[in-house]
Amino acid sequence: MNAAISLENVYKTYNNRSVVKDLSFTIEKGEIFGLLGPNGAGKSTTIRMLTTLTKPSQGQIEISGYDVLRDSMLVKQSIGVVLQSLSVDGDLSVWENMEFQGRLHHIPNPKRQRLINQWLEYVELGSRRNDLVKTLSGGMKRRLQIARALLHQPQILFLDEPTVGLDPQTRRRLWEIIQGLNQQGMTILLTTHYMDEVEYLCGAFGVRTAGDNRKPGRIGIMDSGKLITLGTLQELRSESGEGLLVKQVGEHWEYLFFPTLREASNYLNQQEDKTGMMVRPSNLEDIFVELTGRQLD
């Protein structure tokens, strides 16, 4: 089986209300996959099911070939999870946080120390190993979370809003770290509300193929519990339209998609009154708003 993650006809129901409805998709080994959706779309519940925190009401989920219900311990061993909320212990040092995580996973010494050193160096925290976590910046704490999630050498990494609240420079450095992990062959599932983050990480990197060439990662958009579209950034742009005419109408903006930027420009040139109009290439946020009818919260 080539799929790292597989969902087939998955439902999740709370109090007779389905928050995830007939969800089916696969993620290939080595792929970087962006899962988007407005608040209440069901993506957080989906992540909880994928990481064994919530049981699906119906359907089948497999992670690395293991069923999330029957083989939950094997699933946990094959995944690393970085949650949006900071979960590192501020009263422990950087090394103590890693040491505690290594012991939870029963990683023996001296292998445990070797892995701690390896991943702290990878996220550029080797020199801060003896510092208390509460003295670190937000970006350093996030990097520590990533190092901790990688300590037991998982096959799949789940990243839930990994750069929320960070400054632009720190966000870019984390993108490079995530990109590097994917280039090494790690499967990554990313959820975020930052469209530029998905465009950067999923736009040019993804599955290993023959000759180490790479296909772009894919993007799935959920709304009202359902997967409403799935594809690469270029596929989504081609489907919705690569050219966009933006027109100001009163206090609001109207968006008109065209198959190409040239067709959008031709349309603009044909208008007698071009006041409040402009043409530009479409981007992921335009597509998201067009498909869901609202911006990300």
Asked if residue 210 has pLDDT above 60, the reply is no
pLDDT of 216 strictly over 80: yes
* 81-71-228-204 Cα dihedral, nearest 10 degrees: 50
The hierarchical CATH code for the domain 3-237 is 3.40.50.300
Residue 222 in this model has a pLDDT that exceeds 80 = yes
Helical residues (DSSP H) of the chain, grouped into ranges: 43-50, 72-78, 94-104, 111-122, 138-150, 168-183, 195-203, 233-240, 261-269, 284-292
Residues 234-284 have pLDDT tens digits of 999 999 999 999 999 888 889 999 999 999 999 999 999 999 999 999 999
Instruction: Quote the pLDDT of residue 209.
Output: 47
- The mean pLDDT of 190-214, rounded to a whole number, is 73
214 pLDDT more than 80: no
Domain positions in the chain are 3-237, 242-281
Q: Is the pTM of this model over 0.95?
A: no
- pLDDT of 176 over the 80 cut: yes
Q: Any residues with CB less than 8 A from the CB of 235 and at least 6 apart, and which?
A: none
Whether residue 207 contacts residue 233, with contact meaning beta carbons closer than 8 Å, is answered with no
Cβ-Cβ contacts under 8 Å for 40 (sequence gap 6 or more): none
| Mean pLDDT rounded to a whole number for the chain | 91
Q: Is the model's pLDDT at 159 over the cut of 80?
A: yes
What is the model's pLDDT at position 207? 45
pLDDT band at residue 296 under the 50/70/90 scheme: very low
Tell me, what's the pLDDT at 294?
Answer: 59
* Of residues 288 and 165, more confidently modeled: 288
CA distance 97 to 89: 7
Mean pLDDT of 133-148: 94
- In the structure, what pLDDT confidence band is assigned to residue 42 with cuts at 50, 70 and 90? very high
pLDDT band (50, 70, 90) for residue 53: very high
Instruction: Average the pLDDT over 167-179 and give the result.
Output: 92
Asked whether residue 80 carries a pLDDT value surpassing 80, the answer given is yes
| Higher pLDDT among residues 165 and 59, named by residue | 59
What pLDDT was estimated at residue 211? Answer: 52
Say what the pLDDT of residue 84 is: 82
Give yes or no for residue 148 having a pLDDT over 80: yes
According to DSSP, residue 241 is labeled -
pLDDT number for residue 107:
96
CA proximity to 143, closest of 112, 181, 109: 181
Q: What is the rounded CA–CA span in Å between residue 117 and residue 151?
A: 10
How many beta carbons lie within 10 A of that of residue 107, not counting itself?
Answer: 18
In this structure, of 48-57, 96-105, 160-169, the range with the lowest mean pLDDT score is 160-169
| % of the chain with per-residue pLDDT over 90 | 83
What is the percentage of the chain residues whose pLDDT exceeds 70? Answer: 95
Q: Would you give the DSSP letter of residue 214?
A: B
